[in-house]
Amino acid sequence: DAEITQSPRHKITETGRQVTLACHQTWNHNNMFWYRQDLGHGLRLIHYSYGVHDTNKGEVSDGYSVSRSNTEDLPLTLESAASSQTSVYFCASSEWGQGYEQYFGPGTRLTVT
Amino acid sequence: AQTVTQSQPEMSVQEAETVTLSCTYDTSENNYYLFWYKQPPSRQMILVIRQEAYKQQNATENRFSVNFQKAAKSFSLKISDSQLGDTAMYFCAFMKHGVFTSGTYKYIFGTGTRLKVLA
């Protein structure tokens, strides 16, 4: 069965370190998204991609970057981790003409100390 | 800018009873989609139900139905015959239609309602 996976599921890192969160989908979807989930804020969009080599900034993109070199993967990099980036991160994918439903990964809990 | 408001942070309901979760949104768009997503304690979020704004008829999926009031910009979720497995965080979401052609992403989530079904 097709799925979307994230790794690691839990990560503790120190302020200032570079961190990369992986997202891999086997749906063969063109569209992929990264969100962060914080109490009182719901899900907020960080970055998104509509296809290979396409990336776009969401509403909370500062301090984050993504690159899309193939259809399956959209890794999220925190260039210099800050305590404000402690959060739960979700990756999602979707496809054109399929009702715009997004399929979510299980999430990565990131703690920056 | 579009906004989505869920004014009920937490709710509880007895098993087998009916509960309604509220969602209001603000937009100047005429064509859009509205969604309810469920996030169980295991955290993987799944789609519950979807409504296209141009459709007058309210969407229904088994025990889940919506009350879509376009003029009032209201999109509530009704869960009938509540089950213990319905315990989850529920998110309302808005998406501008044609977002992929416009190049501007407009998938906006509310802050969520935590629903607990009591045995």
How much is the pLDDT for B43? 74
How much is the pLDDT for B106? 57
Would you state the torsion angle of the CA atoms of residues B2, B8, B9, B15, taken in this order, to the nearest 10 degrees? -130
Mean pLDDT for the stretch of residues A77-96: 95
Cβ pair B50:A100 closer than 8 A? yes
Mean pLDDT for the stretch of residues B65-79: 96
CA-CA distance, A108 to A19, in Å (whole number)?
Answer: 12
Two tokens, residue B36: 């309810």
The kind and range of the H/E element at B100 are: helix B99-102
CA distance B115 to chain A (A): 15
Q: Please answer whether residues B26 and B73 qualify as being in contact, where contact means their C-beta atoms are separated by less than 8 angstroms.
A: yes
Two tokens, residue A30: 């063109």
CB atoms within 10 A of CB A68: 20
Amino acid letter, residue B46: I
SS3 A101: coil
Most confident of A88-102, B6-20, B28-42: B6-20
Query: For residue B118, what pLDDT band results from cuts at 50, 70 and 90?
Result: very high
Q: How many Cβ contacts (< 8 angstroms) between chains A and B?
A: 48
Q: What is the DSSP letter of B58?
A: P
**B39 has a pLDDT exceeding 60:** yes
Two tokens, residue B59: 């969407």
pLDDT tens-digit series, residues B78-107: 999 999 999 999 999 998 876 555 545 558
Triad B1, B4, B8: Cα angle to 5°: 155
Ranges A28-42, A90-104, B99-113: which has the least confidence:
B99-113
CA distance A44 to chain B (A): 7
How much is the pLDDT for B58? 95
Of B35, B46, B112, the CB nearest to A42: B112
How much is the pLDDT for B98? 64
How much is the pLDDT for B60? 94
Q: Please answer whether residues A105 and A35 qualify as being in contact, where contact means their C-beta atoms are separated by less than 8 angstroms.
A: no
How much is the pLDDT for B103? 46
CA-CA distance, B30 to A105, in Å (whole number)?
Answer: 31
Mean pLDDT for the stretch of residues B21-28: 95
How much is the pLDDT for B101? 54
CA distances to A65, B10, B25, B80, B91 from B22, in Å: 35, 11, 10, 15, 10
**B1 has a pLDDT exceeding 90:** no
SS3 B101: helix
Query: For residue A6, what pLDDT band results from cuts at 50, 70 and 90?
Result: very high
**B15 has a pLDDT exceeding 90:** yes
CB atoms within 10 A of CB A65: 15
Mean pLDDT for the stretch of residues B23-38: 92
Mean pLDDT for the stretch of residues A94-104: 83
Amino acid letter, residue A39: L
Mean pLDDT for the stretch of residues A57-82: 96
Two tokens, residue B91: 């998110």
Cβ pair B50:A99 closer than 8 A? yes
Mean pLDDT of chain B: 91
C-alpha B48, offset from chain centre = 8
